[in-house]
Structure 1
Amino acid sequence: MAIEGRYTFADMQNPLFLHPSDGPLSISIPKLQGSGDYRSWKRSFEIQLSSKRKLGFVNGTVAQSTTSEAEATQWDTCNNLLERRFSITNGYRKYKLTKDLFSLKQSNLSISEYYTALSSLWEEIESMNSLPTLTTITPEIANFLAAINTMKEEAKLFQFLNGLDDKYGAQRSQLLMMTPLPTVEMACSSIQQEEAQRDVLRNTDNYVVEASAMYSSRSGERFVDKGVCTVCGAKGHSGERCWTIVGYPKWHHKHKKLPAKGTSKPNAHRTNSARMSNNSQSSFGRDDVHITSQ
């Protein structure tokens, strides 16, 4: 590959090429903080490996040679270098992701936010699990892979349902009784529909309560406005609107009988006293006449 200690462009383009300065710490990638910055961290990781022509060792596109012993040995060297660099923290990272996954709950988040958080953890965990590449797939292997995928989907479904708030307990039971079990995407869609219906009903209930309160308030105003009159004792108007105060309408038979301004209404006590006096005088006169006749 190298001619007189010098490297050609073709040599440096080969994924198996290692520069003397390449080492476990030659690839600098910021530390992953959590599921929130996973996508940006993954992109930075891919760019760093691509610049070194080593991304194929991670995604499996650069396979170990089976025809050249020298290339197979060089492939082992590159692969071991990457393992030393990135496998140090994989154990702790997998543990933390798995712990976060099983402790994640909805906790009053929307269904969309809750499912997005779960999906980020699932994607990151799957990216850290490497499986061997199969070159020949027999019917038995296909059935085996299908069974594994079904188990993975069921595990995701159970994790999703387990973290839901208790108010979705009835929907959780209905989904678990289905045969076959729905995918986690179908379950999420079903719960989202239930969430939307509850939001509509909640808004409707709030509108009814507000309308009832407004009606009650206005009804109370009408009751006060049309209560018992404090002047005449009649119902249907207040004392301020009583006709004995503001005057009778023209069509009423008592129209113009309201005392003139500056004069007061006859005192009921005086009127009764006058009537009693007249009655007494009348009685006295009749007695006199009777005595005289005798």
Structure 2
Amino acid sequence: MVDQEVSNPYFLHHSDHPGLMLVSKPLNGDNYATWHRAMTVSLNAKNKLGFIDGTLKAPSPDSNEYPTWSRCNDMVIAWIVNILEGEIGDSVLYYTTARAVWEDLRERFSQSNAPRIFQLQQEIAYLTQEQLSVAAYYTKLKALWDD
């Protein structure tokens, strides 16, 4: 019985609340790819991907399921907005669906940013190990490549 509840996309655990921070680094505009991946993993773990990828459509407002869908949709919106830096969060706050918020962020930030790419290429080219351990150097280099 419990497994059926947890697998229901409308299930909210007692520890789920609107102020929950699902990932550690907020979206600041330059880190969209890593933020997107971290949020996708977190929302999948909570069985809420359907709210952002369009597979879980809103039921009719007359449906008995609508209040539950609306509550979960609002929770996902809150989770997303809480992990956006200031003005970015303010700009998406009035969307009514988590899907609309997600798509707006994708359209704005998934585009290639030529100056940022150039900056990252320079950082990679000039990165030296110096006093870093091999593991620390590799981690720093991999983070730059991932960006």
Name the TM-score, length of structure 1 as normaliser: 0.28
Deviation at 1:32, TM superposition (A): 2.5
Q: Which residue of 1 aligns with 2:47?
A: 53
Deviation at 1:15, TM superposition (A): 0.5
Larger Rg: 1
Deviation at 1:12, TM superposition (A): 0.7
Q: Which residue of 2 aligns with 1:17?
A: 11
Matches of 2:26 and 2:86, distance apart in 1: 15
Q: Does the 8 Å CA contact 1:94/1:125 hold for their aligned counterparts?
A: no
SS of residue paired to 1:28 = coil
2:9 corresponds to which letter in structure 1? P
CA displacement, residues 48-86 of structure 1 (integer Å, 9 cap, x when unaligned): 000001111112111122398332111000011122232
Q: Does the 8 Å CA contact 1:16/1:71 hold for their aligned counterparts?
A: no
1:92 corresponds to which letter in structure 2? E
1:83 corresponds to which of 77, 97, 122: 77
Matches of 2:62 and 2:76, distance apart in 1: 21
- Residue correspondences, number: 98
Q: Does the 8 Å CA contact 1:24/1:81 hold for their aligned counterparts?
A: yes
Q: Does the 8 Å CA contact 1:66/1:72 hold for their aligned counterparts?
A: yes
Deviation at 1:18, TM superposition (A): 1.1
2:35 corresponds to which of 37, 41, 44: 41
Deviation at 1:127, TM superposition (A): 5.7
CA displacement, residues 108-130 of structure 1 (integer Å, 9 cap, x when unaligned): xxxxxxxxxxxxxxx955167xx
Q: Does the 8 Å CA contact 1:15/1:54 hold for their aligned counterparts?
A: yes
Q: Does the 8 Å CA contact 1:16/1:75 hold for their aligned counterparts?
A: yes
* Structure 2: segments with no counterpart, 5+ residues: 92-103, 115-147
Q: Which residue of 2 aligns with 1:93?
A: 88
Matches of 1:19 and 1:33, distance apart in 2: 28
Matches of 1:40 and 1:46, distance apart in 2: 10
Matches of 2:58 and 2:43, distance apart in 1: 18
Matches of 1:87 and 1:43, distance apart in 2: 16
**Highest relative contact order (Cα 8 Å, sep 6+), 1 or 2?**
2
Q: Does the 8 Å CA contact 2:19/2:79 hold for their aligned counterparts?
A: yes
Q: Which residue of 2 aligns with 1:215?
A: none
CA displacement, residues 187-244 of structure 1 (integer Å, 9 cap, x when unaligned): xxxxxxxxxxxxxxxxxxxxxxxxxxxxxxxxxxxxxxxxxxxxxxxxxxxxxxxxxx
Residue 90 and residue 69 in structure 1: after superposition, are their counterparts in 2 closer, same or farther (change >3 A)? farther
Residue 23 and residue 127 in structure 1: after superposition, are their counterparts in 2 closer, same or farther (change >3 A)? farther
Matches of 1:12 and 1:53, distance apart in 2: 8
Matched, 1:8 2:8: no
Matches of 2:41 and 2:49, distance apart in 1: 8
Percent of aligned pairs sharing the same letter: 28
Q: Which residue of 1 aligns with 2:22?
A: 28
Q: Does the 8 Å CA contact 1:24/1:85 hold for their aligned counterparts?
A: yes
SS of residue paired to 1:23 = coil
Q: Does the 8 Å CA contact 2:59/2:65 hold for their aligned counterparts?
A: yes
Q: Which residue of 2 aligns with 1:69?
A: 63
Matches of 2:106 and 2:85, distance apart in 1: 10
Q: Which residue of 1 aligns with 2:107?
A: 126
Q: Does the 8 Å CA contact 2:81/2:89 hold for their aligned counterparts?
A: no
Q: Which residue of 2 aligns with 1:267?
A: none
